[in-house]
Structure 1
Amino acid sequence: MCFFAVLLSSVPAQAEETPAWVNSYARYVQREAEKLNLPGYAFVYYQQGQTPKVFVYGRTARNGKRISQDTVFRLASVSKSFTGLLLSKLVKRGELDWDMGINKLLPDIPFKGAGMSQLQLQHISGQSSGFMPNAYDNLIEADYPLDRVLGELAKLEPICAPGKCYTYQNALFGAIEHYFVTHNTSYHRQIQENLFSPLGMKTASAGKGALMSSAQWAEPHIAIARNRWAKGTVASDYYRFTPAAGVNASISDMTIYLQALLGEFPTVVPPELVKEITTPRVRTTREIYRRGWRPYLTDAHYGLGWRVYQFKGHTLNYHGGWVKGYRADVSFDPEAKAGYVMLMNAESNMINSTTAEFWKRYYDQADGK
C-alpha cells in the first residue's frame, strides 16, 4: 500500500513542486507505517500561500477502499481544540462567559468539593479544574450515563484550587454538553452552525451516528499482537462527552481548519480568538518529557483547548487525540504560518514520533540546517 499525495487546490500539480524535504518526510512516515503494518493514515502540511500537501496511505477497511482526502476519521481529544474555539466565539457574542461558574453550568448537580464554587468554564476548557487528572474516565468507558458521571465527579475533593494547577479532564466536558441541552440546543448544532458550515467543512461532524453515516469513513483498528491489527467497532463511550472527544473530520476539512487557525477566514474565526485560546494559562511540565518530543521541548503550557509548546525556540500550538481505534494530531505555528495534521485509524504510538519529526524537519529547513 503506497502513499500518494493530493494537492488540495485548483492549481495544477505541476505548477508547484512539492519540496524535497516534504517528500523525504512522507517516505519516512510510510516506512515507519510499513514496519508497524498500520492500516492507514492521512496527513497534511500547509504553508500559507502555498498549495496544501496532503498524503494518504492504506485502507479504510470498508470494502477494502483506499483512504482518500475525504475519508472521515475520529479526532478524539483534538475535539477539545474545536470546543475551545467554539466557546470563544460564543463568549465574544455574549452567549457564554468564561467566568460562568459550575453551578450555573450544572445547577441541578451541586459540586461540593472545597473551592468548587470558584470552578468556571475557563477552567474546564483550560484543563485547570483542580480535580485529579482523568477523573472518572473509567466511568465513561464503562458506559455510565453523562449525568451519572457528572454526579460522581461533583462529589470529589479537588487536589488544587481551580486555575492553580494542570489537571487534564474528559468527564468534566460533559458540563458543556449538559448546558447546551438544557438551553434547547446541542453541541452538535452549535459547532455545525458556528464552525463547520461557515468554514465549508463538508465532511466534519460530531457524534457516532454522523461518523458512521459519512460517505467515506475509516474504521478503527485495535492492536492484537506486535504489528498486528484487527478491525474494531466504533465505541460510543466518549461520543457521549462530545465536547471532549466527539468530533469527526477528513484531512481535507482539517486543512480548512488549519487555514482558519492561520487567519484566512477572519469573519468566521477572528485572529484575536485564536490568540485567546492559544495563550498559555497553566504550565504542563510533564509534557516536556513526552516520548518522541523530549529532545525538542523546553517549555509547555495549556491554553483553552490547546497545548502551547516551546519547540526548538519556536512557539507551537498543538493537541493530540486517542480513543479506541484512532489517533490524531493537530499543530500550527502562527508566526511561521504553517500547520500540520495527522489522522490514523489505529491506536499506534507512531504518531508521537512522526509529528515531532515533522516539526524538527520543518524548522531545520527553515533555519537553513
Structure 2
Amino acid sequence: MKYFFWLVLFCTASLTCSAQDNWLGTFADEVKTAAHLKAIPGYAFAVVSAEEPDQVFVQGKTRKNGKQPVNQDTVFRLASVSKTFTSVLAAKLVEQGKLNWNLPLSQLAPDYPFKPELAKSMTLGHILSQSSGYMPNAYDNLIEADYPVKRVLNELAGLKPICSPGSCYTYQNALFAVVEEGLHNSLQLNYAQLLQENLLMPLGMSRSGVGRQALMRDENWARPHVLLAKNRWHEVAVNEDYYRFAPAAGVNASIRDMRQWLKLMLGQYPHLLSSHAIEQLLTPKIRTSRELYRRHWRDHLKDAHYGLGWRVYDFDGELLVHHSGWVKGYRADVGFSPKYKTGMVFLMNAESNLMNEITVNFWADFFEQMKIRAQTAP
C-alpha cells in the first residue's frame, strides 16, 4: 500500500481542502481501503497535534461476527506499548524522589537469587532501556506457558548474561516483572494502583486500566483475532500470560485515552510530566541496529536506539519516538515527533502486519508534508 498526495479525496471539518493540507484525509481513506481488503475486524487511530484539532478515525466491529461498532471508547490491549507507561511512571516517581534510575537489581528484587555481581551492577535504568545483558526475550516461552511470575524470575536469576549491563541491546519482557516487585517493595503499592494514581486518573484516562479482568469486564472492548488463512480472521480467548507481567504488557486503553497519552509526551501537561523527565526518557541509551533492517522501516531508518521505555529513531533525518505492541489477537502502535509536536496512535484487534505498513507510510507522508510546508512558507 502506498499513499499518494492526491488533490482532494474528502475533507473533514477541521482539515482544509488543499493538496497540501488534505493528506491526512487521503491517508485515512487509504487505511480504510487496505483494512477492508484484508478484512480487519476493527481498528481506531488518532493524530494529535499541538497546532491542529485532534483527528480520530474508527472502523469495523469489536468482534468479527458481532454488531457492536468500534468507537472512540472501545478498549484495546496495548501489549508492549505498556512499556512506555512503565517508563513514564518511573520517571515521575524519580522526580518525586521515590525512585532512582540507579536502583540496583539487589534492591528491586531482593528475594530472588540473582548472581551477586549482576545484582549490584544491573539497575532500573538498564531494565527500562532494554540493556540488561540477558539474551533477548529471555523466557518469553515460560510466560506463554503460564509459568508463575516468581518461577520465571527464579529461572531468570540463574541465567548467564550475554553482555554486561548497559553494553548491548537485549529486549526483555519477563525482566519487567522486577519493576513491579521493586515498586511494591519501595512504595507498598502495586503497579496498577501507582499507574492509576499518578497518570491515568490525572490525565482523565478513565477507559484505561491494567489486567485481563479490567479489559473483559468492560462493556465496550475489542475481542482479539488471529489469522486462519488469507483474510480469514478467527476470534480467540484473551490469555492471562503477558498480563501477569503488567509493566511489560499489561495496560489496556481506548483511542480517546491514548490521545491524552500522546499529549502528555508532547509536553502539554508539564504539571504531570516535566520537560526534564521527557528529555530523560527520550535520551538514547543503547543502539538497536537490528531495527534498521526491518521490512518497511529499513527504507527510512538511518539510525535506531532505545531510550527509557521508548524507541528513538532517525527517520529520514527526523527524530521519531516510537513503540509498538503485539500480543495474541492485537496490534498497537504509538509514535510522535517532538519537533513538530505531532503524534499518531493506532490500535487494532487483529494480528496483522498491515500495522507496520500503516505506521511507516504515515510518518513518511507526514515528514514529507512538513518539508513541503517549509519550502512553501513565506
- Asked if structure 2 preserves the Cα contact closer than 8 Å seen for 1:207 and 1:239, the reply is yes
Q: Which residue of 1 aligns with 2:175?
A: 172
Q: Which residue of 2 aligns with 1:227?
A: 231
SS at match of 2:245: helix
2:43 partner letter = Y
Match of 1:157 among 157, 160, 176: 160
Q: Which residue of 1 aligns with 2:311?
A: 307
Q: Which residue of 2 aligns with 1:27?
A: 29
Partner Cα separation in structure 1 for residue 370 and residue 179 of structure 2? 40
Q: Structure 1, residues 148-199: CA drift from partner, whole Å, max 9, x if none?
A: 0000000000000000000000000011122234452100000000000001
SS at match of 1:355: helix
Structure 1: tracts of 5 or more residues without a match:
1-12
2:35 partner letter = A
Q: Which residue of 1 aligns with 2:82?
A: 79
Q: Structure 1, residues 111-155: CA drift from partner, whole Å, max 9, x if none?
A: 127644301100111100000000000000000000100000000
| 1:49-60 equivalence runs, <5 A | 49-60=51-62
Q: Which residue of 1 aligns with 2:288?
A: 284
- Asked if structure 1 preserves the Cα contact closer than 8 Å seen for 2:191 and 2:247, the reply is yes
Structure 2: tracts of 5 or more residues without a match:
1-11, 374-378
Q: Percent identity?
A: 50
| 1:1-369 equivalence runs, <5 A | 14=13, 17=16, 19-61=21-63, 63-112=66-115, 115-182=118-185, 183-368=187-372
- Asked if structure 2 preserves the Cα contact closer than 8 Å seen for 1:279 and 1:303, the reply is yes
Q: Structure 1, residues 283-323: CA drift from partner, whole Å, max 9, x if none?
A: 00010111111111000000000000000110000000000
SS at match of 2:297: coil
1:331 partner letter = G
SS at match of 1:198: coil
Partner Cα separation in structure 2 for residue 172 and residue 70 of structure 1? 31
Partner Cα separation in structure 2 for residue 70 and residue 357 of structure 1? 26
Task: Give me the TM-score of the superposition, normalised by structure 1.
Answer: 0.94
Partner Cα separation in structure 2 for residue 15 and residue 185 of structure 1? 43
Q: Which residue of 1 aligns with 2:9?
A: none
Give the C-alpha shift of residue 49 in structure 1.
Answer: 2.2
For structure 1, which segment, 49-58 or 298-307, has the greater mean C-alpha deviation from structure 2 after superposition?
Answer: 49-58
Task: Give me the TM-score of the superposition, normalised by structure 2.
Answer: 0.92
2:219 partner letter = A
Partner Cα separation in structure 1 for residue 113 and residue 97 of structure 2? 25
Give the C-alpha shift of residue 17 in structure 1.
Answer: 4.2
Q: Structure 1, residues 206-257: CA drift from partner, whole Å, max 9, x if none?
A: 1111111223110100111121101111110000000000001011111111
2:104 partner letter = G
The verdict on how the C-alpha distance between 1:21 and 1:15 changes in structure 2, with shifts beyond 3 A counting, is: closer
- Asked if structure 1 preserves the Cα contact closer than 8 Å seen for 2:45 and 2:345, the reply is yes
SS at match of 1:84: helix
